[in-house]
Amino acid sequence: MKKTLLLGAIATLLFVQCGKEKDPFMISNGQVGSFTKDLQTKQIDSIFATDSIVKLNPTENALGTQGEVEVWDKNGEKLLLLSPDNERDPNSTITNIQVFDTRYKTEKGLNSGSTFKDLKDNYTITNIQTTINSVVIFLEETDVYVTIDKKQLSENLRYDPSLKIEASQIPDEAKFKYFMIGWEASKATKSAE
């Protein structure tokens, strides 16, 4: 009787686990929705078969997708900008992703429509780099990084690109200019070059 109950419990657990679908918009380390950091450019067409793919720098006589592409859903909403390690190699892996659609979010709810307060309440900031027009914020234990336009900072922080900006100087309500995911090129792509 105990064996029957145990087998029934295991079968129920397996059935429940198999019934759970992955969130097609979840961002986790090494994965965005249904694709992973090992995705090759030539596989984009099959991963996003129900979406529209716009090749930004089409190569004449290219077999399959290569180079930087935008992904749009069937309703005309821009989802992602995918940038490969090598624009001319269809076997190149995607190394940078710009996320436009707010449905794409991390396990902690961070998305392209979030604020700096959402970021600092849920993540540890490892580095803040200052550029001419923005600050780039890198996070611990995640592939996500964000850019905030300097127009959202106080006047005294906007015009000196050599100025070191601290997290405490960024307003809580600051919105992201860019919501990005960065992956290193895979070893397979590097060894093929």
Instruction: List the domain boundaries for the chain.
Output: 107-184
> What's the confidence (pLDDT) of residue 46?
83
The most confident of 72-86, 106-120, 172-186, by mean pLDDT: 106-120
Q: How far is CA 65 from CA 61, 97, 120, 169, 184, in A?
A: 11, 16, 37, 43, 20
The most confident of 11-15, 36-40, 132-136, 189-193, by mean pLDDT: 132-136
Strand partners, 170: none
Q: Which of 12-26, 32-46, 86-100, 145-159 has the lowest mean pLDDT?
A: 12-26
Please provide the average confidence, as pLDDT, over all residues in the chain: 83
Please tell me the pTM assigned to this model. 0.79
Query: Do residues 44 and 69 make contact, with C-beta atoms less than 8 angstroms apart?
Result: yes
**Spatial CA neighbour of 66 closest among 85, 47, 38:** 85
Instruction: Round to whole Å and give the CA distance between 153 and 131.
Output: 13
> What's the confidence (pLDDT) of residue 67?
72
Q: Which of 85-99, 106-120, 171-185 has the lowest mean pLDDT?
A: 85-99
User: Burial level of 72, CB count in 10 A (0-12/13-18/19+)?
Assistant: middle
Query: Do residues 163 and 129 make contact, with C-beta atoms less than 8 angstroms apart?
Result: no
Instruction: Round to whole Å and give the CA distance between 24 and 163.
Output: 40
Instruction: Round to whole Å and give the CA distance between 56 and 87.
Output: 10
In this structure, the strands spanning 26-28 and 105-106 are: parallel
* Residue the block writes with tokens 């679908």: 21
Q: Which of 83-92, 133-142, 149-158 has the lowest mean pLDDT?
A: 83-92
| Whether the predicted pLDDT of 9 surpasses 70 | no
> What's the confidence (pLDDT) of residue 1?
54
